[in-house]
Chains A and B, each alone.
Chain A
Amino acid sequence: MVPLNWYLILSAAVFSIGVFGFLTRRNIIIMFMSLELMLNAVNISLVAFSHYLQDLRGHVLVFFIITVAAAEASIGLAIIIALFKNKNTVHVDEMNEMKG
C-alpha cells in the first residue's frame, strides 16, 4: 500500500512543474499544457484523498474537473488557433492588446 504522502508529493511535483512551465515558457501552447498539468495535479490529490478518506465525493469532483478541463481545452485551443490566424504567432509577449 502506497502511503498518502507519496501521492501528495507526486501531486505537488506535477503542480510545481505546471506552475514553473506556465511562468517560464512563452509558447502559448506549452503554457496551455502546463495549465493542464496543474489541473491533473489537483486531480491526483483529490483521488488520493478520496481513497484515503473513503469518500466518493472526491471521485465525483475529479470527473467534473476532467469534463470542465476538456471543455476548456477545446475552447482554449480554438482561441489559440484564432489568435494564430490573426497574429501569425504563438508567442505570448506579442499578445498585449489588453495593455491599459
Chain B
Amino acid sequence: MQYYLLIPFLPFAAFIINILFGRKIIKDNAHWVSTLAVAGSWIVSVMTLMDVLSGLSVNQNLYTWMLSGNFKVSVGFLIDQLTAVMLIVVTTCSTLIHIYSIGYMHGDKGYYRFFSYLSLFTFCMLMLVMANNFLQLYFGWEGVGLCSYFLIGYYFDKKSASDAGKKAFIVNRFGDFGFGIGIFMIFITFGTTYYDEVFSQAAGHALTRVNFLGFDVHLMTLIALLLFCGSIGKSAQMPLHVWLPDAMEGPTPVSALIHAATMVTAGVFLVARCNPIFSLSETALIVVAMTGAITSLFAATIGLVQNDLKRIIAYSTVSQLGYMFLACGVGAYTAGVFHLYTHAFFKALLFLCAGSVMHAMGGELNIQKMGSLKKFMPITYWTMLLASLSIAGVPGLAGFFSKDEILWLAYSGASPVGKIVWAMGTLVAFLTAFYSFRLIFLTFHGRFRGTHEQEHHLHESPKTMTVPLMILCVGAVASGWVGIPHLVGGGAHFTEFMKPVLGHAEGHGTHAEEWMVMAISVAVGFSGIGLAYFMYVLRPELPGIVTQRFLAVHKVLFNKYYIDELYSFLIIRPTIWVAKNVLIGVTDARVIEAIVNGVPSAIGGFSRQLRKMQTGLLHNYATITAMGIFIIAAVMLLRNW
C-alpha cells in the first residue's frame, strides 16, 4: 500500500505549483490544482482506511532526516487505526472546504495565495497525523502553525488580522517550548523518538523518578505534562486559549478547516497518540482532565454573552476541545477521538454556515444586527440548525453519541476526578445548547435588525458553498452512527476499531446508571435549547433585563475575563519595558558601552592632562632637565655613601 505516500504529497505538489506559478500563470484557476489534489488525497485516504479495516498497517521510514551521534530521526509514516481516522477527518473536511472556498473566496485578489496556503496546510496536517516519530510530528505541528499564521493574517493589510496571526504563532510557541523540552526528555530517556520504540519502553519507566531542574519528579508525569504543554497551545486550552478567538480574523473557510475541524484538534491527537505515556501517570491525567473541564466551562460561559457570530463558534470550539481533553484525562481516549471526529463535521459545518451568513450580510458579524435570515437562506438555516442540534446533544445526531460516551466514561471511569469533571461536563452541555441556540434564534428568527441595504442584498449562497454544507450536514447527523453504544443497541464499532491503539476504557456501572447519565445529558441539552427559545424568541426583552441585573458578571464575561489584558500587563509590556529601559538603556548603554567608550576616553583624558607639561617654554624644559640631572647625581652619590 505504498500509495499512501500520495496522501500528503499530492497537496504538497499543489502547493508548490500554486505558489510558483499562481501569481502569473494560474491565477483564478488555482482552485483546480488544490482541490483536485486534496480530493485525490481523500480518495487515497479512503483506500487506506479500507486497508486498515482489513488489518493492514504501515510503519515505514522514508529517509533519514537528522543524524547526529546517537540521535537519529527519519521522515517516516505510521498508519494505524488512529491515523486512518484522522486522515479521513482531515481530507474530508479539507476537500469540502476547498470546494466551499471556490465560491467564498471568488474574486479575491490573493486567490492563488489562499489556495496554496490551504494546500500547504493540508500537507502539514497530514504529515502531523501520519508521523511515526515525535520530530516529524513536531514538523507538522509547526507547519500547521505556520499556515495558521498565514491564513489568519490573510488580509494582511488589516492590522487586526496581522496582529491575530502573530499572536497565534507566538502563543503557540509558548506551548511548543514545553513540547520541545518534552521531546528532549523523551530522547534522553529512551534514546529514540520513534513512537513504537518509545511506547514499548514506556511501561518500563513507570516508576522512574528523575531530577528535573533540581526537582525530583516522576519521569512519565514530567514527559506527559511537557507534551501536554504543546497540546494546550495548539488546542487553545487554558491558559493559552487567547489566540483562538482572535484567529477568527482569517477568512471563514480557514476558521472552519484550521480552527475548528483539524489543526486545533492536533493537541487531542497528540494526547491520544501518546496514551501509553499518559496512562502511566495519574497526575498527568488529572491535569489533562481538569484543564479540559475548566477550559470547557470557562469558554462556554464567555460564549454566552458574545455578539460576534464567529467568536461564539470559536469559544464553542475551545469549549468542545476542552471536552475532548476531559475525555482523554479520564482515560477515555477513544471517546475523545470519537468526539474529535464528530466535532470536526458539525463544527466545520457551523463555521461554513457562518461564512454563508457573512457572505449574505456583506461581512457583518454582529448577531444583534441579524434576524429572520431563515426565509432568505433556507439551506444555510437548516444545515446550521442540524449542526446546532448535533452540538447540543440531541439524541440520534453525531454530537449526542460522542458527548454521551465522554460523560458516561467520566462518570463511571476509574479517574479520581471523574465525578467532578462529569458534573462540569454536564453543566457545559447545558451552556452549549443554550448559546448555540441563542445564536440560531438571534440570527435566523425574529425580525431583521440590520440596515435596509443589507436586507436588500440577502440571498442564499451559490452552489459551491451550499453543496459542501449539505455534505457536511450528513456528517454532522450521521457520523456518530459508527459509535452507537451497546446500551441502545448499537455496535460501538468505533471503540472496537480503535482498541488496538487507544485501549479500551471500561465504564464501571450498571445499565441504570448509564441510562441516568444519558437522560441527564439529554435533559440539560433540551433545557438549554428551551431556555434559549424562551429568552430569545418568546420573551426577547428578557436578555436585556438579565444583563442589567448582572451587569458586573456580564462585563467580565463579555471581556473574556480580561485575560488578554492580564497578559499584556504581566508579560508583554514588562518585557518591552525591560528591553527598552533596562537592557538598552542601562546594560548596553550605561554599563557595557560605558566601559567600551570609557577606556578610550579615559586614556584620552589622561593624555590631555599630560599634554599640559608641554609648555613650549625652553626654560621649563631646561629646568626640568637640570633638576633631573641633580636628582640622578644626588641619588648616585648618596647610594655610594
Contacts and interface: CB of A to CB of B under 8 A. Distances in A.
Tell me, yes or no, whether A binds B: yes
Interface of A: 19, 22-23, 26, 28, 31, 92-93, 95-100
A23 B622 contact: yes
Contacts of B619: 23, 26, 92-93
- Of the listed residues A19, A23, A100, the one surrounded by the most CB atoms of chain B closer than 10 A to its CB is A100
Given A92-B618, A95-B616, A96-B616, 13 more contacts: A28-B618, A93-B617, A93-B619, A95-B618, A97-B616, A98-B614, A98-B616, A99-B614, A99-B615, A99-B616, A99-B617, A100-B613, A100-B615
Across the A-B interface, the 8 shortest Cβ-Cβ residue pairs: A100-B614, A96-B616, A99-B616, A100-B611, A98-B616, A92-B618, A96-B617, A22-B622
Contacts of B613: 100
Contacts of B617: 92-93, 96, 99
Interface in B606-638: 611-619, 622-623, 626
A33 to B, nearest CB: 14
Nearest to A19: B626
B310 to A, nearest CB: 78
Nearest to A97: B616
A31 B611 CA distance: 26
Contacts, number: 32
A23 B626 contact: yes
Contact of B615 (A23, A26, A96): A96
Nearest to B623: A23
Nearest to A28: B618
Nearest to B618: A92
Contacts of A99: 614-617
B162 to A, nearest CB: 61
A92 B626 CA distance: 18
Nearest to A92: B618
Contacts of A26: 619
B472 to A, nearest CB: 90
A95 to B, nearest CB: 7
A100 B618 contact: no
Contacts of A97: 616
Contacts of B614: 98-100
B613 to A, nearest CB: 7
Contacts of B623: 23
Contacts of B618: 28, 31, 92, 95
Nearest to B610: A100
Nearest to B629: A19
A92 B618 CA distance: 7
B625 to A, nearest CB: 10
A23 B623 CA distance: 6
Contacts of A98: 614, 616
Nearest to B611: A100
B626 A100 contact: no
Contacts of B626: 19, 23
A99 B622 CA distance: 15
Contacts of B611: 100
A100 B616 contact: yes
A14 to B, nearest CB: 16
Contacts of A19: 626
Contacts of A93: 617, 619
Nearest to B607: A100
- Of the listed residues B611, B615, B617, B626, the one surrounded by the most CB atoms of chain A closer than 10 A to its CB is B617
A100 B622 contact: no
16 contacts: A19-B626, A23-B622, A23-B623, A23-B626, A26-B619, A28-B618, A92-B618, A95-B618, A96-B615, A96-B616, A98-B616, A99-B615, A99-B617, A100-B612, A100-B615, A100-B616
- Of the listed residues B612, B613, B618, B623, the one surrounded by the most CB atoms of chain A closer than 10 A to its CB is B618
A31 B618 CA distance: 10
Contacts of A96: 615-617
Contacts of B615: 96, 99-100
B465 to A, nearest CB: 87
A26 B617 CA distance: 10
A93 B622 CA distance: 13
B348 to A, nearest CB: 84
A22 B619 CA distance: 8
A92 to B, nearest CB: 5
Contacts of A28: 618
A76 to B, nearest CB: 12
Interface in B542-590: none
B173 to A, nearest CB: 60
Contacts of A22: 622
B607 to A, nearest CB: 9
- Of the listed residues B611, B612, B622, the one surrounded by the most CB atoms of chain A closer than 10 A to its CB is B622
B174 to A, nearest CB: 62
A85 B622 CA distance: 24
A66 to B, nearest CB: 23
Contacts of B616: 95-100
Contacts of A95: 616, 618
A100 B617 CA distance: 11
A66 B618 CA distance: 24
A100 B614 CA distance: 5
Nearest to A98: B616
A22 B618 CA distance: 10
Contacts of A100: 611-616
- Of the listed residues A28, A92, A97, the one surrounded by the most CB atoms of chain B closer than 10 A to its CB is A92
A26 B626 CA distance: 16
Contacts of B612: 100
Contacts of A31: 618
A31 B623 CA distance: 13
A49 to B, nearest CB: 18
Nearest to A100: B614
A18 to B, nearest CB: 11
